[in-house]
Amino acid sequence: MKTTPSRIFILIVFACVLCATSALAADVFHNESEAGVVIASGNTRSQSYNFKQINTQTLNKDLIKFEGRLLKTSNRSIETARFWTLGLRYERELTPVFSLFAAETLESDRFAGYLQRYNSDLGGKYFFYKEELFTWSAEAGYRYSIENRAAGQSKFHYLRAYTEALKGWSKSVSTKAWLEYLPNLTAGQDYKVNGEASVSAALTEIFSIKTAYLVKYEHQPAPPATERTNTWFTTALVAQF
């Protein structure tokens, strides 16, 4: 369970993405690639890597989205942080402002106490504003999680509330913020709160610089982790087309 399912999931994700992008090439396809690297030497020897990939493919009222991310930091060849995630999401538009979605995500953060976490999501998405320079949406749904921890496997049921806003201030500057709340139905005292704020400045029609601050809070972290809050501050080069 700790190795084979993750490999199968990764193969399924990439197979679905490849099939979608090849079969639906005539429709709207969007790519967003993000990369940030910091390497220090001398008195301080450390390396930090931040990679993120998002692909979306739309066909009439259907949308398929793939997302992958890797955050890794080491100091004098000793790894001090590593978080990665792979996700696949399907959306079906019912009205111009409302859609239903299903998503499957695999993530890992051994420093936060879990080796793998499988998330299955179902829910709805509603747009309060959907304009060229400003969009604001909210999601509500259900999540089922399976966590492979050092002490064994745990299964949880969650409710999920999510909101996201994107504002374009000019042709070259935009900001984005999102917030997610996950109350745990299985362990009533536990809950998660995640959020990120970012600002992007365009360099060309394709490339931009993005600075982001990500916060992940877990009220009852998985042992042996003790810190409830994890944060990442990143600056990266982004390519969109």
Q: Is the pLDDT of residue 195 over 90?
A: yes
DSSP 184: B
Report, in this order, helix, strand and coil percent for the chain, each rounded to 5: 10, 70, 20
Contact 30, 59 (CB under 8 A): no
In the three-class reduction of DSSP (H, G, I as helix; E, B as strand; rest coil), residue 133 is classed as: coil
How far apart CA 166 and CA 199 sit, in angstroms, is: 10
Residues 42-83: tens digit of each pLDDT: 555 678 888 999 999 999 899 999 999 998 888 877 888 888
- The ranges assigned to domains in the chain are 4-240
- Return the closest-CA partner of residue 162 out of 184, 138, 192, 142: 138
Q: Is the pLDDT of residue 8 over 60?
A: no
Cβ partners under 8 Å of residue 81, min gap 6 = 71, 72, 73, 111
Mean of the per-residue pLDDT values of the chain: 87
Q: What is the pLDDT of residue 163?
A: 98
Residues 108-159: tens digit of each pLDDT: 988 888 899 999 999 999 999 999 899 999 999 999 999 998 888 999 999 9
How far apart CA 134 and CA 216 sit, in angstroms, is: 25
- Return the closest-CA partner of residue 225 out of 149, 156, 152, 117: 149
- Return the closest-CA partner of residue 69 out of 109, 19, 102: 109
Kindly report the number of other CB atoms within 10 A of residue 83's CB atom: 20
Q: Is the pLDDT of residue 205 over 50?
A: yes
Q: What is the pLDDT of residue 47?
A: 83
Over residues 181-201, the mean pLDDT reads 95
- How much of the chain, in percent, has pLDDT values that exceed 90? 61
Helices (H), 117-219: none
Q: What is the pLDDT of residue 202?
A: 95
How far apart CA 141 and CA 230 sit, in angstroms, is: 24
Q: What is the pLDDT of residue 37?
A: 80
Phi, psi of 120 (to 5 degrees): -115, 125
Residues 166-175: tens digit of each pLDDT: 999 998 999 9
Q: Is the peptide bond before 224 cis (omega within 30 degrees of 0)?
A: yes
CA angle 31, 35, 37 (to 5 degrees): 175
Given CATH 1.10.10.10, say whether it is the number of domain 4-240: no
Q: What is the pLDDT of residue 56?
A: 95
Helices (H), the chain: 4-23
User: The pTM is what?
Assistant: 0.83
DSSP 131: -
